Every structure is written in structure tokens, then in C-alpha cells.
Amino acid sequence: MSNLFGPISRPCDCGSEEPRYPLYDARGIFCTYVCDKCEKKVKSRYRPEIFEDGNYQCDEPIDED
């Protein structure tokens, strides 16, 4: 959905009513949607290195686009 000024952001699922935005890892892989209020808490559910090191160790193959 969009208006004259661009896309309309949906409120975050955390209940804050803040606009949400996508959270990507260091490789540019989409993880989830967050807002300023919940980003830190949501990131804590993941291994920290996935947001800092694009060469992080993973157990499954990652397709290069």
C-alpha cells in the first residue's frame, strides 16, 4: 500500500504502534520486521555475529543471488 509520498509503513507487531522496518543480517538476508523500540530485544534472539560478520558460520547452504 502506498500514498503520494511513498509506501505506508505498517505498525510493528510488538505492539508499540511504531512503524516497522526490515531487519537484515550482515549478508543482507531478511530476518524479520522490527521497530526502534523492539530491535535490540529481537536481535538478542539471534547470534550476535550474524549482524556483524558477513562470513559467519552457518550449517545450511546459502544461495548467492
Q: Dump pLDDT digits (tens) for 15-60.
A: 999 999 999 999 899 999 999 999 999 999 999 999 998 788 877 7
What is the model's pLDDT at position 56?
Answer: 85
Task: Please give the model's pTM, rounded to 2 decimal places.
Answer: 0.75
Helix (H, G, I), strand (E, B) or coil at 28: coil
Pick from 21, 45, 15, 49: nearest CA to 35? 21
The letter for the amino acid at 1 is M
